[in-house]
């Protein structure tokens, strides 16, 4: 048997969160730094997580009647300039193609940072009548926003995402669609990723460049910082007017459409890693894990006995696959069981099944949960085993959500004193509910002094009488504050 | 009821093939011209065909043990220069980013025309030992090769594809993988797309820039021109040497890996459209069609009767969906049945089910095949109906392949006289088998005079004694010639 490789130990999450984050990504082979500054490579295991996210989210998008399409990577610079806030927002982040086919271009092309302008030029061509509405389009693609520093998954020059873009006959219908998308993301975050989020509306300064209203979902990471977990925008007629997206209504009157857009990106993989992982590595929620169960045969010295162990392992694998569970059988001979335990723990596989001589002789499986290390014996008889394993996976999914929800609750504070606000943001961070007078100057000052920004105002916020946490003037609503990633 | 839209008639395939091609794409809403020269937009129906191709091909790739990953869009210009033939081949087609984040870049970045160089820089980092081999990676992505003229699907500046890249310990293993990929594509072309292809090896001048050997599949289009339908390459050590992709073998000796790459792109959608369509529009093979069956209720004047018609239509839809068939029920009231027939014929849906009063009363469905217009009655009783519809879909799949195969055979000629060769290539084109001495000068002259190039030499070509079609000198093998798209 070849000698077992040495494995350098993982940095502990409990000791150094941000170093653990990068370390676990590299060691679990989720991703790697690319030779181009600001870019990353999605390695197969990391990409499989994204594919799993795509699969589930795409089916939710499809169910809402939204159709996938694909628009060009390159956008003429002049298109981006048509909506003033939009170009202002994206201008510092653009990658620009100036040469093509060996010649300098007359008009430079921008590599899409987002696709509003190129899509809407086409929508204007396609939409003629009320019969063409609503137009519901989604695109899975790569986008580029210039970055110098790479923070794997969370901040990269190129990232992958989906962007939904819809056109409607009325403002009310557009708003409904924007809120539908928000709800869809919330369901996805909570049910699939097991990440609890708070939903609401962005302040003026935090809105998407060109939007009328931006809705957002915000999740709290273990270091007390906040990560956006999906966002949707009411664009109003801000784009339909410059792009001339008009339709003839039932009374033959020409009108501009009302638009929305909404997106989720590979940043969410970062949230997934941060939220659930521990000192031993990743912990993936079963519903999103590319491998839900790993079977590790514990070979002994007898060849006949080893054959029985492998046979039972293969049978269990088949039985689980037949009940729709994603299983890997790690029968590699060059690694010891202990090495394999570490490896699959590092990779966050929710359940491990151990099968050795004892298990074969007594017809049971030893099953170990990744989330809490609990070991149990499961009878190896097919149908009961299938049900029990599925039940364990469901329990892990729920447990991960509950753990994250507990953390979120424990780290959310209602604060009325700015001194306390500053202290919390300096020491442990987290979410803070505080009154804000909605003056952008107070918001900017708070950011400057505490790094915390307004994250959202809940959709059905209760009007109260309070005092702005910063200036002390009259304030009617509690806003959610936090330090954004 | 709103008035029925006028629909401009489709250009006839039998009268003007190339105009029909563009016309059917635009009218069936598969794609549209983008505002950027050379680019196109994949509209939902066209993109659904590509998604269907992706789904089936991806599962074949997965079964071969190849893992999906994602590498950066941008490649440093210096990387491309590492393999001399590679940069020479791609240099005229590059799109170059010179500015990012508002500043001029020190080293320009190339938008990937293909990903060898960026992937292989990473492979060099990941591969250390024989245990890391084979490395089998695939990527679904967009690539850019500069084009001024758009020919929808067939020739666009940006296109979508998959590119497989593998590393092996020996030359023999790499060759085996390249041939496996070729066989996979052939199976996919023939079984899913119903496009018959001829397989073989490229001549020196037609090889991929940087390859040792290029293998190809060539399909014959209705206008007698030839379209590549999948390609795979043995790269030898041409890239592993400049990129230093080395591994330690079992005897601890350091060796360069042997590599392959292989790809299929959205051009294949063009082949699909051209091969099967007719004067009425597209004809999609059932195995790849996003919609396999369309149900059209034929409403009369009685409300009760119409309700029964709609009920039966919905029931049939559900029954078919339950047996895994992709169905659409077109219950729109603003269009007449005749208008709908035309619309779904244009869109190439393989089977149409008509349900009117007669059908409801007598418990049967009227079923019309898109490929040959045959009408039949199918009992509406569930299980029998499901089986019969699936059988019809299978028959259509086979029939489309046979029709295309017949065309290919009828338009393939063995030619020994250069005069005849020229005549055929001028008049009706098609495939020509002819002896060629393998002197690149003859190949170049033939291309100049007839627009035909060598397409391939079959893998197990029989050695014969013949005379070169061009120079008359000794030639041992029959090569396949044709005018490439």
Residue B435 covered by a domain: yes
Distance, in Å, from the CA atom of B425 to the CA atom of B441, rounded to the nearest integer, reads 19
Pair (B304, B447) in one structural domain: no
* Same domain? A141 vs A258: yes
Are A189 and A241 in the same domain?
yes
Q: Do A98 and B94 make contact, defined as CB atoms within 8 angstroms?
A: no
Q: Which residue has the tokens 């000068």?
A: B441
**B99 and B136 in one domain?**
yes
At residue B83, the pLDDT reads 86
Same domain, A264 and A301: no
The mean pLDDT of B300-327, rounded to a whole number, is 96
Are residues B378 and B251 both part of a single domain?
no
Residues in B touching A100 (Cβ below 8 Å): 94-96, 146, 157
Contact A69 B42 (CB under 8 A): yes
Residue pair A280/A338 in contact by the 8 Å Cβ criterion: no
pLDDT at A273 over 70: yes
3-state DSSP call for residue B440?
helix
Q: Is B169 on the interface with A (CB under 8 A)?
A: no
Q: Say whether residue B55 is in contact with chain A using an 8 A CB cutoff.
A: no
Split at pLDDT 50, 70, 90, the class of B7 is: low
Of the candidates B41, B97, B148, the beta carbon closest to that of A71 is on B41
The answer to whether position B467 is within a domain reads yes
Nearest CA in chain B to A4: B131
Residue B5 pLDDT level (bands cut at 50, 70, 90): very low
Minimal Cα–Cα distance from B280 to chain A, Å? Answer: 23
Which residue in chain A has the smallest CA separation from B130? A2
Q: What is the DSSP string of A451-479?
A: S-EEEEB-TTPPP--EE-TTT--EE-EEE
- pLDDT, tens digit, 9 for 90 and up, residues A86-140: 888 888 899 999 999 999 999 999 999 999 999 999 999 999 999 999 999 999 9
Q: What is the pLDDT of residues B160-204, one digit of tens each?
A: 999 999 999 999 999 999 999 999 999 999 999 999 999 999 999
User: Which CATH number is A99's domain given?
Assistant: 3.30.930.10
Residue B285: inside a domain: no
Question: The domain containing residue A137 runs over which residues?
Answer: 17-276
**Closest partner CB to B68 (pick from A36, A47, A75):** A47
Say if residue B148's pLDDT is above 90: no
**Domain contains B12:** no
Where a domain ends, among A276, A304, A323?
A276
- Of A146-155, A383-392, A428-437, which range is least confident? A146-155
Same domain, A384 and A461: no
Q: Number of structural domains, chain A? A: 3
Mark yes or no for CB contact A73/B144 under 8 Å.
yes
Residues A427, A475, single domain; the answer is yes
Q: Does residue A281 fall inside a structural domain?
A: no
Q: What is the pLDDT of residue B9?
A: 87
The contacts of residue B250 (CB under 8 Å, 6+ apart) are B130
B4 inside domain: no
pLDDT in the model for residue A461 = 95
- A99/B96 CB distance under 8 A: yes
Last residue of a domain, one of A222, A241, A276: A276
pLDDT at A2 over 70: no
In terms of domains, do A269 and A317 share one? no
What is the percent of chain B with per-residue pLDDT over 90, rounded to a whole number? Answer: 94
- Size of chain B, expressed as the number of residues it contains: 485
- Domain end call among A243, A276, A309: A276
CB contact (8 A) between residue A71 and residue B34:
yes
Q: Give the separation between CA B205 and CA B229, rounded to whole angstroms.
A: 19
Is the Cβ pair A43, B69 closer than 8 Å? Answer: yes
Residue A326 domain flag: yes
Instruction: With beta carbons less than 8 A apart as the criterion, state whether A223 and A277 touch.
Output: no
Rg of chain B (C-alpha set): 26
pLDDT number for residue A4: 43
Same domain, A445 and A351: no
ipTM: 0.96
Separation in Å, CA of B348 to nearest CA in chain A = 19
Q: Does A95 touch chain B (CB under 8 A)?
A: yes
Find the CATH number of the domain harbouring A370: 3.40.50.800
Judge whether residue B4 has pLDDT over 70. Answer: no
A121/A256 same-domain check: yes
CB of A159 within 8 Å of a chain B CB? The answer is no
Same domain, A188 and A299: no
**Contacts with A, B 180-209, CB within 8 Å:** none
Decide if B72 and A146 are in contact by the 8 Å CB cutoff.
no
A10 belongs to a structural domain: no
- From the list A257, A261, A166, the residue with the least C-alpha distance to A211 is A261
Which residues of chain B from 319 to 378 reach within 8 Å of chain A, CB to CB? 334
Q: Is A7 on the interface with B (CB under 8 A)?
A: no
Indicate left, alpha or beta for B230 from its phi (over 0: left) and psi (-120 to 50: alpha): left
pLDDT of residue B175: 98
Chains A–B, number of C-beta pairs less than 8 Å apart? 168
DSSP one-letter code for A434: E
Mean of pLDDT over chain A = 96
pLDDT tens track for A436-483:
999 999 999 999 999 999 999 999 999 999 999 999 999 999 999 999
Contact A98 B96 (CB under 8 A): yes
> Where residue A429 sits, what CATH number does that domain have?
3.30.110.30
3-state helix, strand, coil in chain A (%, to 5): 35, 30, 35
């Amino acid at each position: 048997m070849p000698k077992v490789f040495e494995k350098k130990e993982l940095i502990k999450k409990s000791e150094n969160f941000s170093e653990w984050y990068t370390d676990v990504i590299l060691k679990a082979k989720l991703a790697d730094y690319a030779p181009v500054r600001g870019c990353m490579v999605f390695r197969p295991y990391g990409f499989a997580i994204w594919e799993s996210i795509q699969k589930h989210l795409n089916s939710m998008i499809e169910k809402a009647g939204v159709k996938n399409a694909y628009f060009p990577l390159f956008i003429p610079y002049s298109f981006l300039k048509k909506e003033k806030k939009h170009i202002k927002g994206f201008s510092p982040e653009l990658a620009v193609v100036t040469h093509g086919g060996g010649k300098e271009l007359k008009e430079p092309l921008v590599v899409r940072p987002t696709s509003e302008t190129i899509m809407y030029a086409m929508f204007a061509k396609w939409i003629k009548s009320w019969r063409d509405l609503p137009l519901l389009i989604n695109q899975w693609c790569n986008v580029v926003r210039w970055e110098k520093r790479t923070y794997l998954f969370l901040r990269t020059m190129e990232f992958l995402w989906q962007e939904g873009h819809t056109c409607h006959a009325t403002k009310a219908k557009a708003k409904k669609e924007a809120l539908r998308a928000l709800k869809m993301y919330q369901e996805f975050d909570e049910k699939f990723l097991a990440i609890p989020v708070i939903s609401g509306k962005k302040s003026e300064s935090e809105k998407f460049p060109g939007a009328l209203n931006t809705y957002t979902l915000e999740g709290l990471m273990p270091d007390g910082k906040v990560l956006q977990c999906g966002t949707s925008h009411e664009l109003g007629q801000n784009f339909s007017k410059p792009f001339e997206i008009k339709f003839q209504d039932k009374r033959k009157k020409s009108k501009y459409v009302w638009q929305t857009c909404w997106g989720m990106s590979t940043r969410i993989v970062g949230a997934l890693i941060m939220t659930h992982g521990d000192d031993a590595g990743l912990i993936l929620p079963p519903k999103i894990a590319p491998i839900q169960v790993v079977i590790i045969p514990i070979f002994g010295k007898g060849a006949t006995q080893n054959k029985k162990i492998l046979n039972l392992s293969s049978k269990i694998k088949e039985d689980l696959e037949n009940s729709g569970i994603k299983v890997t059988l790690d029968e590699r001979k060059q690694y010891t069981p202990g090495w394999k335990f570490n490896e699959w723990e590092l990779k966050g596989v929710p359940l491990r099944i151990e099968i050795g001589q004892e298990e074969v002789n007594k017809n049971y499986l030893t099953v170990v949960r990744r989330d809490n290390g609990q070991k149990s014996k499961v009878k190896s008889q097919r149908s009961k085993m299938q049900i029990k394993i599925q039940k364990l996976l469901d329990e892990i999914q729920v447990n991960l959500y509950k753990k994250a929800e507990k953390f979120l609750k424990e780290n959310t504070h209602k604060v009325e004193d700015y001194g306390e606000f500053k202290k919390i943001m300096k020491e442990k961070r987290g979410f803070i509910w505080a009154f804000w007078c909605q003056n952008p100057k107070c918001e900017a000052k708070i950011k400057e002094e505490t790094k915390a920004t307004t994250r959202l105002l809940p959709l059905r916020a209760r009007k109260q009488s309070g005092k702005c946490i910063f200036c002390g003037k009259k304030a009617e609503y509690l806003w959610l504050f936090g330090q954004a990633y």
